[in-house]
Amino acid sequence: MFKALRHRNYRLFFAGQLISLIGTWMQSVAQGWLVLRLTNSPFLLGVVAAASSLPILVLSLPAGVFADRLPKRSVIIFTQTMAMILAFILAGLTLTHTVQVWHVLVLATLLGASQALDAPARQAFVIELVGREDLLNAIGLNASMFNLARAVGPAAAGLVVAAVGEGAAFLLNALSFLAVLWGLLLMKLPPHPLQPAKHPKGQLREGLLYIRNEPTIRALLLLVANTSLFGFAYAAMLPVFARDVIHTGPSGLGYLGGASGFGALLAALALAYMGSEPSLDKHRGRFLLLTLFIFPFFVIGFTFTRDLPIAMVFLAFMGCSNVASLSLNNTLIQLLVPNTLRARVMSVFVISVLGVAPIGGLLAGSITEWVGSVPLVIALAALILIGLNLGMLLLVPQVRQLWTRLDLPEAHVTRIS
d(CA 352, CA 130): 25
pLDDT for 81-134, tens place per residue? 999 999 999 999 999 999 998 999 999 899 988 888 887 788 778 877 877 677
Q: What is the CATH number of the domain that holds 317?
A: 1.20.1250.20
Find the helix packing angle between 308-336 and 135-164, rounded to 10°.
150
* In a domain? residue 191: no
pLDDT score recorded for residue 297: 93
pLDDT score recorded for residue 196: 52
The mean pLDDT value of the chain amounts to 81
pLDDT for 347-395, tens place per residue? 788 788 777 777 777 787 778 778 778 888 889 989 999 999 999 888 8
pLDDT score recorded for residue 415: 34
The candidate with the shortest Cα–Cα distance to 184, out of 64, 327, 79, 341, is 79
Distances (CA, A) of 393 to 137, 223, 402: 28, 10, 10
pLDDT score recorded for residue 416: 34
pLDDT score recorded for residue 278: 54
pLDDT for 227-256, tens place per residue? 888 888 788 778 888 888 888 887 788 788
pLDDT score recorded for residue 170: 94
pLDDT score recorded for residue 172: 94
Higher pLDDT, 77 or 270: 77
pLDDT for 176-199, tens place per residue? 999 999 999 988 877 655 555 455
411 pLDDT higher than 70: no
405 pLDDT higher than 80: no
pLDDT score recorded for residue 178: 94
How many folded domains does the chain comprise?
1
DSSP 305: -
Distance of CA 360 to the CA centre of its chain: 14
d(CA 186, CA 122): 17
413 pLDDT higher than 50: no
Straight-line distance from the first to the last Cα atom of the chain, in angstroms, rounded to the nearest whole number: 42
Tell me the residue type at 294. I
* In a domain? residue 192: no
Mean local confidence (pLDDT), 271-293: 70
pLDDT for 199-228, tens place per residue? 556 677 777 888 888 888 888 888 988 888
pLDDT score recorded for residue 195: 54
* In a domain? residue 413: no
Range of the domain at 159: 3-185+199-404
pLDDT for 335-347, tens place per residue? 788 777 777 787 7
Higher pLDDT, 298 or 363: 298
Higher pLDDT, 172 or 281: 172
pLDDT score recorded for residue 417: 29
pLDDT score recorded for residue 119: 79
* In a domain? residue 190: no
* In a domain? residue 410: no
pLDDT score recorded for residue 192: 58
* In a domain? residue 175: yes
d(CA 405, CA 403): 6
pLDDT score recorded for residue 409: 46
pLDDT score recorded for residue 175: 95
The candidate with the shortest Cα–Cα distance to 311, out of 365, 264, 364, 253, is 253
Cα dihedral 372, 376, 381, 383, rounded to 10, equals -160
pLDDT score recorded for residue 274: 67
Cα dihedral 163, 82, 111, 41, rounded to 10, equals 30
